[in-house]
Structure 1
Amino acid sequence: MKIYPIETGTFKLDGGAMFGVVPKSLWSKTNPADDNNLCTWSMRCLLIEDGNKLILIDTGIGDKQSEKFFSHYYLADTKTLEQSLNKLGFGLDQITDVFLSHLHFDHCGGAVKWNSDRTKLETVFKNAIYWSTENHWNWATEPNSREKASFLSENILPLQESGQLKFIQRTGNYTKSVFNNFDVLFVDGHTESMMIPHIHYQDKTLVFMADLLPSTGHIPLPYVMGYDTRPLITMGEKGEFLNQAAAKEMVLFLEHDSVNECCLVEQTEKGVRLKDHMTFSSIFG
């Protein structure tokens, strides 16, 4: 097995929205904002090469939305998904599986594109199975008013229409996935049944944090995004997870932290806190 970080560019979101009730005087110490109160966030994906499987976790925002849509998010797409895959020697048609942590646009938008004459939407990865989970799929395709702007039908419905969609079965909060050395934690605070992959790699547990922990600045329990649908549940889920991560020395892979690819956490008298941050290659070579 080999694992590769995949950069797909950055975007900007309001700092207050990203930190909820926490005052700017506190969150800006780790995530400084620009003059418009916007912070820069990565859309970092993960690629797993395992035998004849090439598994991509999340896909970034993609490029099919309107200019008006993208103008809200100040994209810097110097590293696109396709370019990052090509740099490693892989093509789009080689991807066998696309695992979507959840279906918010910045996580799944890169899964679907316009065809050559922009008359029809089609899947980006023609030979891949797209993996979601049924609870979340139903939640996303019949969205509540709060999340409606994040669940875009053009990102989601073509996956089903293509016949390439399958579901990871949720059995409790932690289950084996269909892949080797790959378990899934289900959490419900950010959105219903978000999937957090736990990958057993080089004698370590590598955890793809998705939106359970967007950045190192979100480690203290009250630092919960305003986007979360159930913030109190997020606090409980994050607290339980971070206790385990500290005890088991898990490597946390940060999808949205624009500075830090990975981090370790530890128990302190103030609770779980950042132990160290590092690049993926410095841990796994």
Structure 2
Amino acid sequence: MQLYPIESGNFKLDGGAMFGVVPKSLWQKTNPADANNMIDIAARCLLIEEGNRLILIDTGMGNKQSSKFFGYYNLWGNHSIDNSLKKYGFHRDDITDVFMTHLHFDHCGGSVQWNKDETGYEPAFKNAYFWSNKDHWLWATQPNNREKASFLTENILPMQESGQLKFTAIPKGDTLINSELGFDIFFANGHTDKQMIPLIKYKDKTIAFMADLLPTVGHIPLPYVMGYDTRPLLTLDEKEKFLNTAASNNYYLFLEHDAHNEIITVTKTEKGVRLKDIHTSQDIFQ
């Protein structure tokens, strides 16, 4: 198995929204804001090469939305999925599976693109299956008013209409071994219903793709919960359980949204779980 970080693009989000009830005087220590209160955010995906399979976890925002839409998110940098894949000798047509942690636009927007004459949409990975789960698919396709702006029809339905959509099993407990894709999944419901956190066994390490369960290093303290979360008290419980497990088992936490820190480990302290070490993907994935 080989792992590759795939940078799909950087953007900015309001720092207050990213940290909920936590005062700016605290969160700006780890996530400094610009003059408009916006903080740096990444859309860092992960590519798994194993045997004949190339599995891409999440796909970022994509590029099919309007300039007005992207104007809300202050895109910055030169990253793209195509350039990142090319760096490692791959093309999007080589991807066999796209695993979506959840269907918010900044995690799955790159899964769908305009067709050639821009009269409709088509899967951006023509040879891949797209993986979600039935409960989250229903949640996303019949959205509540709070999340409606994050679940965009054009990002979601073309995967089903093309016949390329597949669903993972949903466990009775919190984790399962997904025999189809070869990694465990931790299901977290605080951010959105049935968000999936992959746990990948890589050599002697466990790599956890943190998605929105832990967006950045600054979100490690338990009360530091995003204002976007639909069930913040549940997020508290899920974070506590997961981070304690991560500290006890020395998980390597792959941060999708931290623009400046790729991978971290955590440790237990008298104040709770805290940052242990910061790593680069080049160091861990060699």
Question: What TM-score range do you get, normalising by the shorter chain?
Answer: over 0.9
* Aligned counterparts, 1:43-54, within 5 A: 43-54=43-54
Task: Tell me if the contact between 1:132 and 1:168 (Cα under 8 Å) persists in the aligned partners.
Answer: yes
Aligned residue in 2 for 1:151: 151
* Aligned counterparts, 1:222-261, within 5 A: 222-261=223-262
Q: Mean Cα displacement is larger for which, 22-31 or 271-280?
A: 271-280
Spell out, residue by residue over 1:161-181, the C-alpha distance to the aligned partner (whole angstroms, 9 max, x if none): 010000001112211113464
CA shift for structure 1 position 34: 0.2
* Aligned counterparts, 1:66-105, within 5 A: 66-105=66-105
Aligned residue in 2 for 1:59: 59
Once residues 180 and 152 of structure 1 are traced to their aligned partners in structure 2, the CA distance between those partners, rounded to angstroms, is 26
1:270 pairs with 2:271: yes
Once residues 83 and 265 of structure 2 are traced to their aligned partners in structure 1, the CA distance between those partners, rounded to angstroms, is 29
Task: Tell me if the contact between 1:188 and 1:230 (Cα under 8 Å) persists in the aligned partners.
Answer: yes
Task: Tell me if the contact between 1:8 and 1:77 (Cα under 8 Å) persists in the aligned partners.
Answer: no
SS at match of 1:89: coil
Once residues 200 and 65 of structure 2 are traced to their aligned partners in structure 1, the CA distance between those partners, rounded to angstroms, is 32
Task: Tell me if the contact between 1:181 and 1:201 (Cα under 8 Å) persists in the aligned partners.
Answer: no
SS at match of 2:116: coil
Aligned residue in 1 for 2:17: 17
Once residues 69 and 239 of structure 2 are traced to their aligned partners in structure 1, the CA distance between those partners, rounded to angstroms, is 31
Task: Tell me if the contact between 2:53 and 2:96 (Cα under 8 Å) persists in the aligned partners.
Answer: yes
Spell out, residue by residue over 1:7-41, the C-alpha distance to the aligned partner (whole angstroms, 9 max, x if none): 11101100000000000000000000000000010
Aligned residue in 2 for 1:2: 2
Aligned residue in 2 for 1:137: 137
Task: Tell me if the contact between 1:12 and 1:73 (Cα under 8 Å) persists in the aligned partners.
Answer: yes
Once residues 154 and 285 of structure 2 are traced to their aligned partners in structure 1, the CA distance between those partners, rounded to angstroms, is 36
* Aligned counterparts, 1:71-220, within 5 A: 71-172=71-172, 173-179=174-180, 181-220=182-221
Once residues 241 and 81 of structure 1 are traced to their aligned partners in structure 2, the CA distance between those partners, rounded to angstroms, is 29
Spell out, residue by residue over 1:149-190, the C-alpha distance to the aligned partner (whole angstroms, 9 max, x if none): 000000001010010000001112211113464110101000
Once residues 244 and 87 of structure 1 are traced to their aligned partners in structure 2, the CA distance between those partners, rounded to angstroms, is 34
Once residues 182 and 254 of structure 2 are traced to their aligned partners in structure 1, the CA distance between those partners, rounded to angstroms, is 16
Q: CA RMSD in A?
A: 0.8
Q: Mean Cα displacement is larger for which, 215-224 or 181-190?
A: 181-190
Task: Tell me if the contact between 1:100 and 1:108 (Cα under 8 Å) persists in the aligned partners.
Answer: yes
Once residues 40 and 152 of structure 2 are traced to their aligned partners in structure 1, the CA distance between those partners, rounded to angstroms, is 22
Amino acid corresponding to residue 28 of structure 2 in structure 1:
S
SS at match of 2:68: helix
CA shift for structure 1 position 283: 2.1
Task: Tell me if the contact between 2:2 and 2:285 (Cα under 8 Å) persists in the aligned partners.
Answer: no
Amino acid corresponding to residue 170 of structure 1 in structure 2:
I
Once residues 2 and 113 of structure 1 are traced to their aligned partners in structure 2, the CA distance between those partners, rounded to angstroms, is 27
CA shift for structure 1 position 76: 1.9
Once residues 180 and 99 of structure 1 are traced to their aligned partners in structure 2, the CA distance between those partners, rounded to angstroms, is 9
Task: Tell me if the contact between 1:202 and 1:284 (Cα under 8 Å) persists in the aligned partners.
Answer: no
Task: Tell me if the contact between 2:4 and 2:285 (Cα under 8 Å) persists in the aligned partners.
Answer: no
CA shift for structure 1 position 93: 0.9
SS at match of 1:113: strand
Aligned residue in 2 for 1:41: 41
Amino acid corresponding to residue 204 of structure 2 in structure 1:
D
> Which runs of 5 or more residues in structure 2 are unaligned?
none
Once residues 222 and 257 of structure 1 are traced to their aligned partners in structure 2, the CA distance between those partners, rounded to angstroms, is 18
Q: How many residues align?
A: 285
Structure 1 runs, 4 residues or longer, greater than 2 Å off: 178-181
Aligned residue in 2 for 1:28: 28
Once residues 91 and 182 of structure 2 are traced to their aligned partners in structure 1, the CA distance between those partners, rounded to angstroms, is 24
> Which runs of 5 or more residues in structure 1 are unaligned?
none
SS at match of 2:56: strand
SS at match of 1:49: strand
SS at match of 1:61: coil
